[in-house]
């Protein structure tokens, strides 16, 4: 068996392990909120936001300010989702392989950006 065949087999094994694990554990999401709670975003790893909540107080930011805040919180929610996916999958896949596939584990942060 040559290197290409071994690599292809490894990719199939990793895909199967990931699929089975995610099927059992359910969807992985990340949630982040602005410190004042005016903007909250729920995101998936590598995907668009699944939910965006904006309080009436957030409208005082103006269109550009609100858009920038939504983008900032959405990026944080996606980083959280990526970290959670990495934490979930590293039980079935070598963490180095996850990083090579673009699933990176970031620092554990709470909703206020504090690292744990």
The string of pLDDT tens digits covering residues 77-106 is 999 998 888 787 777 777 787 777 777 777
Name the β-bridge partners of 53. Answer: 40
Q: Roughly how many angstroms between the first and final C-alpha of the chain, as a whole number? A: 45
Q: What is the mean pLDDT of the chain?
A: 83
Q: What's residue 11's pLDDT? A: 77
Percent residues over pLDDT 90 in the chain: 37
Q: For residue 32, name the pLDDT band (cuts at 50, 70, 90).
A: very high
Q: What are the residues facing 30 on neighbouring strands? A: 43
Model-level pTM greater than 0.75? Answer: no
| Phi and psi, residue 5, nearest 5° | -65, -40
Write out the two tokens for 83: 């970290």
Q: How far is CA 25 from CA 18, 59, 69, 78, 90, in A?
A: 10, 37, 31, 18, 13
**DSSP reduced 3-state for 116:** coil
Average pLDDT over residues 5-34: 82
Rounded CA gap, 10 and 97, in Å?
10
Residue 109's pLDDT is what? 55
């Amino acid at each position: 068996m040559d290197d290409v065949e071994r690599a292809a087999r490894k990719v199939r094994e990793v895909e199967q392990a990931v699929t089975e694990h995610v099927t059992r554990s359910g969807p992985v999401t990340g949630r982040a909120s602005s410190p004042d709670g005016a903007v909250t975003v729920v995101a998936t790893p590598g995907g668009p936001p699944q939910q965006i909540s904006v309080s009436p107080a957030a409208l005082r930011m103006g269109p550009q300010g609100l858009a920038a805040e939504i983008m900032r919180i959405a990026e944080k929610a996606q980083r959280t989702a990526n970290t959670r996916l990495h934490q979930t999958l590293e039980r079935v896949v070598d963490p180095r392989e996850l990083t090579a596939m673009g699933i990176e584990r970031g620092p554990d942060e709470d909703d206020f950006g504090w690292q744990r």
